[in-house]
Amino acid sequence: MTTQTDKQNMTAIVCHAPKDYRVEQVKKPSAGAHELVIRIAACGICASDCKCHSGAKMFWGGPSPWVKAPVIPGHEFFGYVEELGEGAAEHFGVNKGERVIAEQIVPCGKCRYCKSGQYWMCEVHNIFGFQREVADGGMAEYMRIPPTAIVHKIPDGISLEDAAIIEPLACAIHTVNRGDLQLDDVVVIAGAGPLGLMMTQVAHLKTPKKLVVIDLVEERLALAREYGADVTINPQKDDALAIIRSLTDGYGCDVYIETTGAPIGVNQGMDLIRKLGRFVEFSVFGADTTLDWSVIGDRKELDVRGAHLGPYCYPIAIDLLARGLVTSKGIVTHGFSLEEWDEAIKIANSLDSIKVLMKPRG
């Protein structure tokens, strides 16, 4: 029998320190003015979650650490509107029971970046699942959405698995857009993890001259071919430089998108890209990356571009999924309950999975 105390609490994963994540009973959030509480349907485990769990320096150290524990992790979430605070229906344009997603960043609305429309580079930079000051993340039964969050509705026809990849798909779209792909480009995507495979689908829709995907896992390369890659390369077996030169009259690729999260992916890209090429860096690294920077200026005069989050891309991601132009099929490989966290993070940290979802029971 459910007691009043039970109704006031919920199950959540709580990050206390590197490798110290616990399944706990915590107080269920409530909605203040212009706030929502959503019932979580699913929350993906991101590569950044894995690196944070492992204790990567960029998350825990330095002058501005991302993580401020204790905090409920998770930024790849979606759910159902459970509670509407005063004015929240009008503020967000949503009703109780609707499926919604909030963008991973909660912009402050006051800094120079927010005021100029570049909200994804907000100076305060609160992201769900890393700092509790604004709100916890989505690895819980319920989650509070604060007033400055950016909320989007999810059509009923989109499956649970597809809805669960909206956040990383938005990031993939932004990254591909940063590459400014042209019809006669030879494009290389390095890394066929969840983001790389979504970038492959998005890049294929741009119809470049040749789309090349590089990875060490044959099963992921097979998926990349299903998603539209013209050529796949396994550097352990293939001569990547020779293949790219054969496709480009010896010059090198026009666009190189780095999403391996490994330093070698950066150095590889500097070798494969042509002079005046566009190098797009998306990855979150767990270790420092070094290279001879003279290749950027003196030798190749490269256009090096970063890609961060998925600004203005959530509606595009939702539309592509609704039209069946991008899919989670083959990418979402595992689902676990919150209580199965230890097994979930173990699988997510391995090559046995691509995308792992946490799904609250009930």
The string of pLDDT tens digits covering residues 188-209 is 999 999 999 999 999 999 999 9
Domain ranges, ordered by start, for the chain: 4-165+328-358, 172-306
Separation between Cα atoms, residue 189 and residue 196, nearest integer Å: 7
Mean of the pLDDT values across residues 128-150? 93
Integer Cα distance of 257 and 179 in angstroms: 7
Do 102 and 50 meet the contact criterion of CB atoms below 8 Å apart? no
Contacts of 23 (CB under 8 A, 6+ apart): 11, 12, 13, 14, 338, 339, 341
The arrangement of secondary structure in 172-306, i.e. its CATH architecture, is 3-Layer(aba) Sandwich (3.40)
The Cα 184–Cα 228 span in angstroms is 16
* Residue 232 β-bridge partners: 213
pLDDT by residue (tens digit) across 300-349?
999 999 999 999 999 999 999 999 999 999 999 999 999 999 999 999 99
pLDDT at 55: 81
Q: Give the homologous superfamily in CATH for domain 4-165+328-358.
A: Medium-chain alcohol dehydrogenases, catalytic domain (3.90.180.10)
Please check whether residue 139 is in contact with residue 338, taking contact to mean a CB–CB distance below 8 angstroms. Answer: yes
- Span 215-258, pLDDT tens digits: 999 999 999 999 999 999 999 999 999 999 999 999 999 999 99
